[in-house]
Structure 1
């Protein structure tokens, strides 16, 4: 982490924070100053952590062997450092041997009692060819790594306990494979066979660092993601994006210990830099989504709070706003109001179209956390200001959309005082803006709680919308939507106005349509109907062309209709004789009320004219078929048929029942005249 600094009495450098060596973590506290930290005592490896650590050491050896052409010679738990993040780092480089001639094997100094033990590698992990043959190669480090793996699964105890004695080392070397059989039961099955080959005394059976790193044991998405994350600072932008994309997919599978020790610190560090926050945010939001609420409150939120309040690139802000539902689901209400809402409100003031659109969309998600005072003081002023100061149509639509999202959360009086006057004053002629306003009005018409009465519609809303019906910028679909809203407004005005007028109007009795009520002028109730039948008969042979035969029929017979007010004579469906007989015994006032004959002192007559062009036309029983009425003299008419029958004015009174046969005979005579007989 910091380069070497040297002076006359010291040599200093700084590494990333570590908790101790692998030997310390496994329980060896010999070289640690008292007291031992509780963190070190409580540290316990999980399988994923071991897998990831072994992968890191294998990569370090592969780099030394193939890139630097050097042999480590001191692979042991004491030379492996465990960082606070849980990573394994290879240290103890004081015994490196360089293969200058790039040979398969080269001479090497074995362990000896003539040199202090602190100046020599750990004898318990030295490869047999170094101690017995005084030669070494790259596979000697692989033997030492196999012994380290066995020590990890045996509580830090090596398979060889030489106790700094070469002779003891040789004796223990022969018993090593028997001890391995006991430890192998604790190892993952995929590691048993490779480790057994690594600790073989025959060098030819040992795998190289590169071959060992390709084992299926290491083909784990979690390990691969952690590996990419560990080398993140050495990657270009494309590799960083790929690394974090893969990390976001495997975060649900990463054990909690590795997640908060290895992953979370890197994410927080990258989210505080403007260059890397765009790549790190998706993984961080995924981590928040899958984190238990307690972990979010205790571990994530203290770091995430500073990320929310910091200055971020537009893309980072947009991503947070798009994923705001994840944050709202985990964040307490007081934190939402103090940290999340200000970020949304400030984004509304942004000059970035993309950021504003994200903020408008986020308003719909946070409206349940807003009261009328916050909306009135924070949201509406910003939305109105955004509309008035923007010349871009998209920005204006964003402002109107923000207001539309707020409608369901607003009080009725706030809508009438703030929203309605603002919408009525908008004079923009752009079609998209107009249709956005139409959509807001349509939203307000959907529920009475918005307070849009028929009075406001008629005086405030429609006068501002009607001019847009001739807006040339509207397409057919937009014009149809506008007219549909206007018709809905008119229907609401019609409905509410009629209901109000019905409640205010006194109910009056209105005569039923179709009823007739007449009274005689003299009040005597003596009505008569004079029937005049004119028959024009033309000669079919042409001999009597232009000749007319007329018969004047007069009758003093009283005709009346039924006493039901809502039915005419025609609607009864009865013959004239039947209708007459039904009213013989009725009182004269009832007959007068339903009479079709207008009152008068004389006796009016009814004229019926029949054209001989339709001699076979049947006579309808209804009085409507009688044709126009005309006044004829009835009394004293000489030569009339009634007179010849003794029914003239001077004839004695004959009752209705006595007149019926004579009238029937008269009807038969008339029918003979019509038929030409």
Structure 2
């Protein structure tokens, strides 16, 4: 919520929040604000004279006689605070954007955006890397102050060091600075009335005894303050010298205790300094011991400690610190230098604390990428920078909360995906798809949630861009990664999307790709869609109408690859297991199709064909196992149909014609008579002769007429004698279905002459039970 003022230049130029971020040193109330035109974030500092007057009057400090003098002194200190700060243009000093506006009841000025000072900062956000980086920035600022402008800060304390949004530390609190004139100067510091605000005097707890007890202004005073800051930062905000700024005697007693500790024999392992890291302890002790008194001798027997000694110390000899140093100058690097830096950064980025990742690296990496996206054309080096920057953003995302990732990382990643055609970038996203899913909070069981839908759109875009037949190595790698991770893509899609968009795309890629690896992966994708998606598995219609014709038309040259061959076998097996659980008939294209016949014709026979291409014994054994499984299924299916047919067409008892029986015996049925009846719809196949063979008949007497037995005749009746024997050529038999046996009508036999009774030797016996047939497959 921003409040609008129209009384001053600052308040008319900036939209100022109604809620302050923090209050520094009980003096400045600091508000976040934005410039109305540029929208740049800034901090507006406000000091209320009215509130201070009220507090001073309540404490009995302010009365009618001294009111004007005290308030003028306060105003002078505050004006010095701002004016001195405005003079220093250095990256390690707080930047003043708008000068001080001094009004009747308040003062205002504007600086770069800050979020805290070291006094108000939550100490749990600090770790060794953050502290070391911050101290390096303070030391760099002091180097500029001491060596370039020859000035002593005099009041380096937690309340005079501010932290920006990028977690950079900035020096402020310049109201007491002293310019050096080639030699040590004298200055006496008076204690402050405890009823007055603390910003009116130097903070004793962080001041050197060289200043307060020896009354010397020297560069070493600031270095002693740095030692006090180190202790403060590594001890959760507890000061090294616990005293007030209202008593020099109290300060002296406290310092003497510290001096006694510093004179201990085993100082480096003293209990008071246990919290100081081991790589800090040497320089920390030097900062406290060698800055207690200025050396005023003409002949210097010992070189005084300087800020250069601090910068050259082991505490800053750290790879992570060097990385942070470079990133501060990142915009000035060439593209090749940026590529090299970002490549090395991927190895060390996870070592940085979360606060630095959020406040330092995310802004730098985002600012690096955004301008490149707006360019009309992105060259190869720019693409590498974009991909490496995105890779680092994904690495640091593992330490971010879901909210931070959704707000700061995902929008940029999504923008690059939609605006740029870079297969290498798409491959990067697919490789980190689990991280993106987790950090977005996507849930495959709740496809209606906002974050799940964002993730779903990302998957759809990646899938669409990958399913393009191409020989480009990056595109092939992308297809490889997408097909390998296909279950993730499918889990976040509806069944309709899978069947109308994703399945046809995989089919197209299967048909067009020239890469055997990708073709293998598409076959695996089919298997996943058939049996690995539970309620989203492909239905029988799509399998029969779309998938089976596609795989059956695969060119045989592909089967020279043993892996593809066995993947095809597994695909047929998956289809078989899917279909054999279906009803006996399924509807395909408005036609009822017998499942067992479909399995026999489209799977069983196809698998037998594939045996021609098997080159390994283990593969052949696996193929025969599957063939045997399908054969067993088909036998059971055919047997079950036969039993149903037998039950429907079982023989009924024949009605005996006693009159006919008296004159002619009932002739046993011939096996071949079964073939003359109309076959039933589901009866098994049998062989039926189409022409007959008539054997020679043995003659009982020379004058007798021979009897000829005719196979396939409706009854065994005597035939007229011929002058020569009759032979019929046996032709190949054709298959027909077996019908239930029917009794032949009774006939009256003609008188016969003596002959061999062939009915007793060749005619089949009458069956008394149901016929039994072997099923043919």
Change (3 A) 1:55 1:201: farther
Change (3 A) 1:25 1:242: farther
Matching of residue 239 in structure 1 with residue 348 in structure 2: no
- 1:614-662 superposed Cα distances (whole Å, 9 cap, x missing partner): xxxxxxxxxxxxxxxxxxxxxxxxxxxxxxxxxxxxxxxxxxxxxxxxx
8 Å contact kept, 2:509–2:522:
yes
Shift of 1:450: 1.9
Shift of 1:442: 1.5
* 1:343 match: 461
* 1:307 match: 412
SS in 1 for 2:162: strand
Alignment of 1:315-326 (within 5 A): 315-326=424-435
Shift of 1:424: 1.8
* 1:106 match: 182
Change (3 A) 1:326 1:123: closer
Change (3 A) 1:29 1:376: same
SS in 1 for 2:424: helix
Q: Where does structure 2 lack aligned partners over 5 or more consecutive residues?
A: 1-8, 11-18, 31-44, 52-113, 190-199, 263-270, 296-301, 373-382, 581-594, 650-777
8 Å contact kept, 1:61–1:209:
yes
Alignment of 1:219-618 (within 5 A): 236-248=338-350, 250=351, 254=353, 257-266=355-364, 268-269=366-367, 274-289=383-398, 295-296=401-402, 298-312=403-417, 313-330=422-439, 331-333=441-443, 334=447, 335-339=451-455, 340-350=458-468, 351=470, 352-408=475-531, 409=533, 410-413=537-540, 414-427=542-555, 429-431=557-559, 435-436=563-564, 438-445=566-573, 449-451=577-579, 455-461=597-603, 476-477=615-616, 483-484=620-621, 487-488=624-625, 490-503=627-640, 504=642, 506=646
Hey, what's the Cα distance between the residues in 1 that align with 2:203 and 2:176?
13
8 Å contact kept, 1:387–1:396:
yes
Change (3 A) 1:257 1:56: closer
- 1:453-485 superposed Cα distances (whole Å, 9 cap, x missing partner): 653344234666666666xxx6834xx577556
Q: Where does structure 1 lack aligned partners over 5 or more consecutive residues?
A: 1-8, 11-18, 100-104, 114-119, 509-677
Hey, what's the Cα distance between the residues in 2 that align with 1:79 and 1:320?
44
* 2:226 match: 145
* 1:44 match: 122
Shift of 1:376: 0.8
* 1:33 match: 46
8 Å contact kept, 1:159–1:179:
no
The two structures have a TM-score, normalised by structure 1, of 0.54
Shift of 1:493: 4.6
* Superposition RMSD in Å: 5.4
SS in 2 for 1:82: strand
SS in 2 for 1:81: strand
Matching of residue 80 in structure 1 with residue 185 in structure 2: no
8 Å contact kept, 1:424–1:461:
no
Shift of 1:33: 0.7
Change (3 A) 1:244 1:63: farther
* 2:292 match: 200
SS in 2 for 1:107: coil
Pick the structure with greater CA Rg.
Answer: 1
- 1:346-386 superposed Cα distances (whole Å, 9 cap, x missing partner): 23235511111111112133333334212112211221232
8 Å contact kept, 2:576–2:599:
no
Hey, what's the Cα distance between the residues in 2 that align with 1:186 and 1:30?
35
Change (3 A) 1:338 1:52: closer
The total of aligned residue pairs comes to: 467
* 2:710 match: none
Alignment of 1:56-205 (within 5 A): 56-62=134-140, 65=143, 69-70=147-148, 71=150, 73-74=152-153, 76-77=156-157, 80-90=161-171, 106-107=182-183, 136=218, 139-149=220-230, 176-178=255-257, 188-190=275-277, 193-197=285-289, 199-201=291-293
* 2:736 match: none
SS in 1 for 2:416: coil
Change (3 A) 1:215 1:405: farther
SS in 2 for 1:420: helix
Hey, what's the Cα distance between the residues in 1 that align with 2:565 and 2:145?
68
Hey, what's the Cα distance between the residues in 2 that align with 1:68 and 1:416?
84
8 Å contact kept, 2:184–2:294:
no
Change (3 A) 1:25 1:218: farther
Hey, what's the Cα distance between the residues in 1 that align with 2:631 and 2:520?
32
Change (3 A) 1:257 1:441: same
Hey, what's the Cα distance between the residues in 1 that align with 2:144 and 2:626?
82
SS in 2 for 1:33: strand
- 1:569-602 superposed Cα distances (whole Å, 9 cap, x missing partner): xxxxxxxxxxxxxxxxxxxxxxxxxxxxxxxxxx
Hey, what's the Cα distance between the residues in 2 that align with 1:385 and 1:399?
10
Change (3 A) 1:220 1:58: closer
8 Å contact kept, 2:559–2:565:
no
8 Å contact kept, 1:106–1:135:
no
Hey, what's the Cα distance between the residues in 1 that align with 2:314 and 2:221?
23
SS in 2 for 1:76: coil
Shift of 1:216: 7.4
- 1:536-564 superposed Cα distances (whole Å, 9 cap, x missing partner): xxxxxxxxxxxxxxxxxxxxxxxxxxxxx
The two structures have a TM-score, normalised by structure 2, of 0.48
Hey, what's the Cα distance between the residues in 2 that align with 1:461 and 1:455?
10
Change (3 A) 1:416 1:205: farther
Q: Hey, which of these two has a bigger chunk of helix by percent?
A: 1
